[in-house]
């Protein structure tokens, strides 16, 4: 894979992920434009997220069955049409329906990952995964700022129409440049859907990768959920905009993810996972000082959230590299299982974080992060002790089939 192709696939990830997040910044504009309440307008955001979850389960496994380039082009084209419909929607129900379609089909980032893993040799896989993750992070961060500024200037429909034009343009570029790879599976669609569950049962390294990411992502979600309560509460008395500004600190992970990928290529995923888990524990300790308030507390929040973001995203690079090495013929199904577990962990973390904050305040949320990370660390240390020195389980199971896909 050339650097130009890696950049194109990273941009594809950025656009796909950005389509999930940009509506969050224009809910008040949508409410005013359609003469409804902000709570009702937020249903468009909910519909996008529900559609995205369904798309991960229903569509991503098809990446192992269908030609990759054609599948990506169809997904991007359907997403562009969904965004175009949303931007022209005269009523809220039609906007919600178009948002659900957009969420369902904007899973290109989850299709690009397995595709890219098959286009590079194993010793470059981590670096490519890190590059794609940087694109996803950039799309998530820039989408909110882009849609908010454009919406204030031209109205709430403008971000949808601009995103539709960008997505359709990207579909045309992908159709001409991404190589065609032969599908690795001929299983029927129902078998593909059930395969992800079967892989969770039969692949120990998939299970532990899912456990690592679910627990760490749960702690990550708990922190960012409770951070709003802390900053807008009596300790700081700030507005909700402060959370958005603090989130921009996470943009540093765009630079760290490719570096983590190169470390995975050089040392394997297990050492990177270990360092990341220890870094999350340190971040939990630093974040506790956020309860002090004033400048020292805010400084601790900036440093702690930055360290937490870098550690979580770098750990994801290591986990995905391990998962993609397991079954070259089932990478999309493996990714479906992995990402579903990660999102379930994040949802559970948000729920637990609010309850920990209600009982023990900010200290309780930080303690929850530490507890979840200790669980992941304990499981990882058991694995490191039980396996033979010198090679990871994923490496020992590698076969001749784990080679780059030859484009036609």
Q: What is the mean pLDDT of each run of 10 residues along the chain (408 residues)?
A: 86 91 81 86 83 87 87 95 95 94 91 84 83 84 77 89 96 90 78 86 94 92 81 76 67 80 91 96 95 88 91 91 87 87 83 88 94 96 79 43 46
Say what the pLDDT of residue 88 is: 94
Domain count, the chain: 2
pTM of the model: 0.76
Q: Last residue of some domain: 183, 208, 230?
A: 183
402 assigned to some structural domain? no
Question: Do 274 and 365 reside in the same domain of the chain?
Answer: yes
191 assigned to some structural domain? no
Question: Do 72 and 153 reside in the same domain of the chain?
Answer: yes
- Of 322, 68, 315, 106, the closest CA to residue 205 belongs to 322
Q: What is the number of other CB atoms lying within 10 angstroms of the CB of residue 210?
A: 23
List the CATH number of the domain containing 264. Answer: 1.20.1250.20
Counting Cα atoms < 13 Å in the Cβ hemisphere of 230 gives: 30
401 assigned to some structural domain? no
125 assigned to some structural domain? yes
Asked if residue 367 lies in contact with residue 360, where contact means CB atoms within 8 angstroms, the answer is: yes
Q: Last residue of some domain: 154, 183, 212?
A: 183
Question: Do 214 and 126 reside in the same domain of the chain?
Answer: no
| Domain span holding position 114 | 3-183
Block residue for tokens 């749960």: 218
Question: Do 11 and 55 reside in the same domain of the chain?
Answer: yes
Question: Do 284 and 155 reside in the same domain of the chain?
Answer: no
- Of 214, 317, 336, the closest CA to residue 269 belongs to 317
Question: Do 179 and 202 reside in the same domain of the chain?
Answer: no
Q: What is the number of other CB atoms lying within 10 angstroms of the CB of residue 211?
A: 17
190 assigned to some structural domain? no
Say what the pLDDT of residue 344 is: 83
Q: Running DSSP on this structure, what letter comes out for residue 121? A: -
404 assigned to some structural domain? no
57 assigned to some structural domain? yes
Question: Do 269 and 334 reside in the same domain of the chain?
Answer: yes
Block residue for tokens 């089932």: 330
Q: Last residue of some domain: 183, 207, 233?
A: 183
408 assigned to some structural domain? no
């Amino acid at each position: 894979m050339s650097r130009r192709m890696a950049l194109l696939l990273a941009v594809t990830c950025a656009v796909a992920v950005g389509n999930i997040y940009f509506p969050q910044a224009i809910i008040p504009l949508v409410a005013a434009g359609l003469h409804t309440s902000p709570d009702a307008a937020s249903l468009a955001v909910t519909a996008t997220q529900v559609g995205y979850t369904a798309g991960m389960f229903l569509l991503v496994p098809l990446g192992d069955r269908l030609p990759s380039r054609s599948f990506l082009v169809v997904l991007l084209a359907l997403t562009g049409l969904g965004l175009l419909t949303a931007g022209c929607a005269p009523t809220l129900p039609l906007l919600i329906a178009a948002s659900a379609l957009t969420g369902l089909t904007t899973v290109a980032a989850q299709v690009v990952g397995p595709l890219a893993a098959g286009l590079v040799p194993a010793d470059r896989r981590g670096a490519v995964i890190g590059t794609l993750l940087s694109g996803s992070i950039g799309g998530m961060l820039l989408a909110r700022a882009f849609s908010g500024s454009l919406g204030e200037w031209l109205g709430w429909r403008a971000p949808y129409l601009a995103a539709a034009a960008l997505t359709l343009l990207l579909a045309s570029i992908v159709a001409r440049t991404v190589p065609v790879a032969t599908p690795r599976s001929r299983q029927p669609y129902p078998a593909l859907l059930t395969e992800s569950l079967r892989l969770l049962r039969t692949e120990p390294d998939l299970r532990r990768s899912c456990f690592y990411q679910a627990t760490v992502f749960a702690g990550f979600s708990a922190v960012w959920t409770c951070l709003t309560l802390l900053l807008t509460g009596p300790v700081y008395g700030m507005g909700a905009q402060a959370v958005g500004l603090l989130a921009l600190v996470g943009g540093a992970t765009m630079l760290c993810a490719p570096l983590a990928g190169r470390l995975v290529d050089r040392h394997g995923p297990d050492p990177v996972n270990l360092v990341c888990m220890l870094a999350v524990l340190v971040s939990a300790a630093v974040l506790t000082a956020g309860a002090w308030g004033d400048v020292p507390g805010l400084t601790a929040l900036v440093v702690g959230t930055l360290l937490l973001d870098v550690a979580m995203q770098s750990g994801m690079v290591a986990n995905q590299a391990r998962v993609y090495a397991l079954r070259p013929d089932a990478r999309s199904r493996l990714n479906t299982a992995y990402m579903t577990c990660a999102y379930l962990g994040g949802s559970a973390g948000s729920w637990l974080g609010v309850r920990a904050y209600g009982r023990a305040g900010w200290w309780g949320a930080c303690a929850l992060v530490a507890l979840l990370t200790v669980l992941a660390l304990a499981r990882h240390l058991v694995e490191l002790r039980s396996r033979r020195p010198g090679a990871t389980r994923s490496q020992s199971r590698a076969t001749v089939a784990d080679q780059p896909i030859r484009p036609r």
